[in-house]
């Protein structure tokens, strides 16, 4: 009989349950997605030049596990909050608490198990989809990656089963311990803002100190990569605590200040909104700091991931000035070059004789030879042009552009008379600079292939720009893939966490909004109140997270050439996705609260 009642209770709250359920499914799907990367050692080995990758991934797993545990405990709290009134009622009517706690155990565990299985299936599909998308979009080369990976599936199951057994135990124990009356009146027990100014001020100071230490550590790591093993945990710890104190103390302070300002607080529903926020603050502090951290991690991962993409062109650009080199040009190659969006096509004649390659001085005078001069100190290449490529540095660049067989030759630049007198076949070297290497990539690839067919020696020793592009792209793609994947996984997790937390408060808000409606609040005003409240909850962690990332990028100042280059792209992607979550949360919240 009780079981039947409980089931009908679930039916009644199907929408709340579907929110809970989809949250759990998302959690397990993301966990699987991440595990499919982290447990795949073949993939990790073949795609990362850096030793630190396994370490980074290990760290990622720990983080994700912590986040997932926190996430599920929220979800679990949501489940309990939905049920406790009903269970309190059953108990009041005489149901034994042992019976109730058994029911809660079964319910929690069943929901968890179903969600995990569904989540893993979705995880497999999503992994395939996301990896395809990322790989195609960025022309990446990723080896040994499979969306279905058994060890990942098994570890996901194991992890979630353990967590859900613990949650189920926790729920059933907490129901058994709580008094029936408390259960019945659970949602009418507000927590007041604790007003202890000294403690608050102390927290603000502590928060600033911790954040300062964390930021300083990240900047230090940037200048000395050896500190990374100690620095990452230190930075993480201090920033987490710093973030927590900042949010806890600062938000409370801001709310109290706004409440004191009667002109603001006594206007429309402002006071109500402030009270809504302040009453949940102790609850929300934890999740907001967690979200701020995750936001920073996700945004950081995406930024760094895309940073590697920029790195590819920077590195490639730094190696060769000319996008295409063709020897002894023929009609077919000429036709292909004509199709390029060229900036300048240069052709030099040369004659090879007895270990020396002769060029004509007059040709260099007409069109100087350009190359990328590498500065060892700044690690930056600068485009330089010269009319005399016979000095050692430059002749090296010129020889590299030529056929491999001449690589050990000497370069001589001579006047026309001398050049004509040399008794050797006259050859030509055509150098093309396009307006954009990336935009002409496909055409350049064709020319490169054709050239390799004409001169098979180029195949193994090719140093054309396209060849270095392929090499560099291979190295960075793995890193990039990880960054994007991690970023998207964290983002999905973080946003649904926040969404959950907000939505789980919604059911207890129904009465409040209904009352406001009764005393004559226009529906539009109610909606804008909700929008404001949720906007604040989303904006706070986003703001802190962005600061974390901006400073955190300092860590990569040695690895990435310009860590802040094109930063608006990842930020843009991120903000669009994040706004999407904001609007979904807003929509769902309103659906629950305003019928």
Partner 1 sequence: MQKIVEVKNIEKIYGKAGEKQYKALSDVNFEVEPGEFVGIMGASGSGKTTLLNILSTLDTPTSGQVHIGGQDITKLNTNEMADFRANKIGFIFQDFNLLENLTAYENIALPLALQNTNAKKIDPAVNSIAEKLGLTDILNHYPTELSGGQKQRVAAARALVHDPSIIFGDEPTGALDSKSARALLDTMSKINHEDNVSILLVTHDPFSASYCDRIIFIKDGEIGQELKKADHSRGEFYQEILDSLGTFAE
Binding site for partner 1 (CB under 8 A): 188-190, 192, 262-263, 266-272, 275-276, 278-279, 511-512, 515-525
Nearest to 484 by CA among 315, 303, 320: 303
Nearest to 155 by CA among 48, 271, 37, 75: 37
Q: How far is the CB of 248 from partner 1 (least distance, A)?
A: 18
Query: What is the bridge-based pairing of β-strands 356-360 and 410-414?
Result: parallel
- As a whole number of angstroms, the distance between CA 33 and CA 143 comes to 17
Nearest to 462 by CA among 405, 408, 410: 405
Q: How far is the CB of 541 from partner 1 (least distance, A)?
A: 22
Q: Which is nearer to partner 1, 365 or 511 (CB)?
A: 511
Q: How far is the CB of 188 from partner 1 (least distance, A)?
A: 6
Q: How far is the CB of 499 from partner 1 (least distance, A)?
A: 21
Q: Which is nearer to partner 1, 217 or 273 (CB)?
A: 273
Tokens, residue 87: 């269970």
Beta-carbon contacts of 491 under 8 Å, excluding residues fewer than 6 positions away, are 294, 295, 298, 299, 302, 574, 577, 578
Collapsed DSSP state (helix, strand, coil) of residue 139: coil
Q: How far is the CB of 510 from partner 1 (least distance, A)?
A: 12
Q: Which is nearer to partner 1, 354 or 518 (CB)?
A: 518
Q: Which is nearer to partner 1, 158 or 523 (CB)?
A: 523
Q: How far is the CB of 524 from partner 1 (least distance, A)?
A: 7
Nearest to 57 by CA among 473, 472, 481: 481
What do you get for the CA distance between the two ends of the chain, in Å?
31
Q: Residue by residue, what is the 3-state secondary structure of 198-232?
A: HHHHHHHHHHHHHHHHHHHHHHHHHHCHHHHHHHH
Whether the Cβ atoms of residue 549 and residue 563 lie closer than 8 Å to each other? no
Q: How far is the CB of 528 from partner 1 (least distance, A)?
A: 13
Q: Which is nearer to partner 1, 73 or 271 (CB)?
A: 271
Number of Cβ atoms within 10 Å of the Cβ of 591: 12
Q: Residue by residue, what is the 3-state secondary structure of 454-509?
A: HCCHHHHHCCCHHHHHHHHHHHHHHHHHHHHHHHHHHHHHHHHHHHHHHHHHHHHH
- Measured CA angle at 495 (ends 491, 498), to 5 deg: 145
Q: How far is the CB of 206 from partner 1 (least distance, A)?
A: 28
Tokens, residue 110: 């069943």
Nearest to 594 by CA among 509, 491, 468, 483: 509
How far from 108 is each of 163, 474, 501, CA to CA, in Å? 11, 46, 18
- As a whole number of angstroms, the distance between CA 593 and CA 93 comes to 29
Q: How far is the CB of 525 from partner 1 (least distance, A)?
A: 8
Q: Which is nearer to partner 1, 97 or 270 (CB)?
A: 270
- As a whole number of angstroms, the distance between CA 554 and CA 217 comes to 10
Q: How far is the CB of 514 from partner 1 (least distance, A)?
A: 8
Q: Which is nearer to partner 1, 198 or 519 (CB)?
A: 519
Q: Which is nearer to partner 1, 189 or 378 (CB)?
A: 189
Q: Which is nearer to partner 1, 276 or 434 (CB)?
A: 276
Q: Which is nearer to partner 1, 262 or 354 (CB)?
A: 262
């Amino acid at each position: 009989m009780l079981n039947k009642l409980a089931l009908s209770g679930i039916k009644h709250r199907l929408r709340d349950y579907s929110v809970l359920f989809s949250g759990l499914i998302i959690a397990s799907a993301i966990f699987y997605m991440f595990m499919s990367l982290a447990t795949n050692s073949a993939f990790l080995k073949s795609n990362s030049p850096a030793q630190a990758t396994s370490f980074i991934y290990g760290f990622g797993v720990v983080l994700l596990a912590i986040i997932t545990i926190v996430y599920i405990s929220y979800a679990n709290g949501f489940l309990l909050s939905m049920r406790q009134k009903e269970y309190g009622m059953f108990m009041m009517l005489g149901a034994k608490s042992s019976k109730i706690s058994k029911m809660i155990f079964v319910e929690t565990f069943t929901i968890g198990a179903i969600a995990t299985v569904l989540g893993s299936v979705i995880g497999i599909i999503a992994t395939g989809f996301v990896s395809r998308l990322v790989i195609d979009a960025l022309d990446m080369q990723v080896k040994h990656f499979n969306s279905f990976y058994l060890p990942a599936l098994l570890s996901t199951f194991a992890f979630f089963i353990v967590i859900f057994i613990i949650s189920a135990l926790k729920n059933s124990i907490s129901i058994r311990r709580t008094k029936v009356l408390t259960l019945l009146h659970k949602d009418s027990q507000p927590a007041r803002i604790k007003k202890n100014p000294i403690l608050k001020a102390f927290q603000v100071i502590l928060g600033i100190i911790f954040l300062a230490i964390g930021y300083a550590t990240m900047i230090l790591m940037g200048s000395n990569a050896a500190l990374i093993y100690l620095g990452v945990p230190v930075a993480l710890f201090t920033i987490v605590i710093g973030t927590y104190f900042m949010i806890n103390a600062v938000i409370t302070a801001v709310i109290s200040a706004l409440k004191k300002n009667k002109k603001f607080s006594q206007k429309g529903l402002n006071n109500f909104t402030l009270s809504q926020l302040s009453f949940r603050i102790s609850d929300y502090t934890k999740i907001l700091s967690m979200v701020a951290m995750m936001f920073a991690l996700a945004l950081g991962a995406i930024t760094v991931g895309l940073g590697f993409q920029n790195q590819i062109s920077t590195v490639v650009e730094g190696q060769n000035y000319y996008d295409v080199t063709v020897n002894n040009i023929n009609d077919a190659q000429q036709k292909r070059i004509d199709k390029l969006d060229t900036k300048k096509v240069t052709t030099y004649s040369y004659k090879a004789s007895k270990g020396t390659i002769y060029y004509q001085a007059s040709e260099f005078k007409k069109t100087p030879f350009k190359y990328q001069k590498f500065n060892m100190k700044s690690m930056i290449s600068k485009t330089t042009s010269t009319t005399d490529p016979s000095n050692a540095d430059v002749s090296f660049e010129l020889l590299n552009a030529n056929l491999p067989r001449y690589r050990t030759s000497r370069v001589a630049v001579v006047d026309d008379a001398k050049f004509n007198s040399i008794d050797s076949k006259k050859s030509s070297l055509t150098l093309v600079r396009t307006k954009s290497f990336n935009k002409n990539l496909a055409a350049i690839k064709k020319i490169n292939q054709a050239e390799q067919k004409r001169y098979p020696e180029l195949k193994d020793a090719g140093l054309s720009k396209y060849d270095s592009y392929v090499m560099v792209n291979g190295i960075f793609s793995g890193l990039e893939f990880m960054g994007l994947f991690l970023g998207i996984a964290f983002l999905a997790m973080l946003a649904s966490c926040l969404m959950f937390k907000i939505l789980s408060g919604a059911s207890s808000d129904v009465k409040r909004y209904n009352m406001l409606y009764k005393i004559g609040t226009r529906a539009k005003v109610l909606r804008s109140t909700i929008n404001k409240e949720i906007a604040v909850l989303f904006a706070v962690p986003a703001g802190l997270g962005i600061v974390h990332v901006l400073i955190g990028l300092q860590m990569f100042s040695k690895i990435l050439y310009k860590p802040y280059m094109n930063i608006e792209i990842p930020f843009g992607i991120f903000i669009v996705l994040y706004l999407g979550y904001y609007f979904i949360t807003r929509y769902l919240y309103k659906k629950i609260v305003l019928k």
